[in-house]
């Protein structure tokens, strides 16, 4: 999996190239946390939480996923330092199941780079190309 920052005039974005949809969503979580925190973060979380989300399409599911993670950091004080993600088609569109390894925000507050208001639909795309998945995300900061 490869996660690269991209230039955008007013916001922050990144691209993910991965072997699977699960890796795209895990990479997006890693990209979000890289935007929000400076430096290396712990590999292990102190707590674990399960999370389930659904969406009518992959783009909506990705926005919901990133918005949920930003909410957990900024409102609940839980920083997901590692994620295990599964994404599958469902009757309603797509379903995501994840296990989050969390570190309390207070332990990382000195590395906090700033808030993310939301993931946007601007320029958002998820596509399969040449056997790989590629996604592009712009965050409103």
Model confidence at 9, pLDDT cuts 50, 70, 90, reads: low
**pTM of the entire predicted model:** 0.91
Q: Is the pLDDT of residue 51 over 70?
A: yes
CA distances for 116 relative to 11, 48, 92, 97, angstroms: 10, 23, 28, 23
- What are the pLDDT digits (tens) for 76-126? 999 999 999 999 999 999 999 999 999 999 999 999 999 999 999 998 999
Domains and CATH numbers, the chain: 2-140 (3.55.10.10)
Distance CA 17, CA 47 (A): 29
Alpha-carbon span 131 to 54, nearest angstrom: 24
Which candidate, 5, 2, 45, places its Cα nearest to that of 138? 5
| Cβ–Cβ < 8 Å for 26, 84 | yes
Report, in this order, helix, strand and coil percent for the chain, each rounded to 5.
30, 45, 25
Q: Please, which pLDDT band fits residue 7 given cuts at 50, 70 and 90? A: low
For range 2-30, the mean pLDDT: 85
In this predicted model, what pLDDT tens digit does every residue of 30-49 receive, in sequence order? 999 999 999 999 988 889 99
Does residue 109 sit in helix, strand or coil? Answer: helix
């Amino acid at each position: 999996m490869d996660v690269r920052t991209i230039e955008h005039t007013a916001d922050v974005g990144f691209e993910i190239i991965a072997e699977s949809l699960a890796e795209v969503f895990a990479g997006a979580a890693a990209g979000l946390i890289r935007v929000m925190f400076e430096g290396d973060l712990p590999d292990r979380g102190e707590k674990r939480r399960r999370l389930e989300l659904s969406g009518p399409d992959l783009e909506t599911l990705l926005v919901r996923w990133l918005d949920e993670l930003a909410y957990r950091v900024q409102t609940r004080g839980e920083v997901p330092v590692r994620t295990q993600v599964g994404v599958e088609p469902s009757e309603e569109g797509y379903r995501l199941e994840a296990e989050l390894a969390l570190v309390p925000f207070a332990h990382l507050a000195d590395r906090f780079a700033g808030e993310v208001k939301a993931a946007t639909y601007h320029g958002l795309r998820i596509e399969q190309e040449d056997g790989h998945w590629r996604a592009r995300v712009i965050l409103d900061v």
